[in-house]
Structure 1
Amino acid sequence: MAKNYNGMAVGVFELDNLVACFVALDAAAKAANVTIQSVERNRLKSGACVKMRGSVSDVNAAMEVALEAAKPLGQVVSHTVIASPAPDTETALAMTVNK
């Protein structure tokens, strides 16, 4: 059963390797009240994309910690926080989970 993330901010970061992603998401989950929504492996490269959900302040705090934790292990490809995803954005986010 999918969790309802409506009204929650989303933080997304992509790193160039899976190990760095797991270290970063662990640090994020410990640093703030966020839920890891998904980890999506890049099928063409060794990296992955992580989506986390929570309040704007928690997602921002978790993102900062995650990116700092990833620095010694890999390269940050991209990252962003969307404070209030539009309904169509929520649909697109949900479509990529487990893909």
Structure 2
Amino acid sequence: MSIILPKAIENFVAAANAHDTEALLAVFSDPATVFDDGKTYTSGAEIREWIQSHLIEPKIVTTPISFENNRLVASGAGQFPGSPLTFAFTFATKDDLITDLSIEAA
């Protein structure tokens, strides 16, 4: 079964799995907000640091499991304790860009 994702979310998953910081930054609007690990990231510099420390350095590979109502449930495997884990990504998008992203354990 194939999961069809909106363009912004498809681009997020592809850029994350390619470990491409610039491509990941490009999927976010300006301004955008990311909430992960109890912290909120709002500026471009903060989101860049979040991308680097939470996605690029641990070499996260995201495998979608389900998608409904802007909520992507996916397996996240990488170089971190407990890998792989299942995460829920809740997105808000506009014009094929991510305006808000919240991540929690699923």
Q: TM-score range by the shorter chain?
A: 0.3 to 0.5
TM-score by length of 2: 0.34
TM-score by length of 1: 0.36
Higher helix share: 1
**Structure ranking higher on relative contact order (CA contacts 8 Å, 6+ apart):** 1
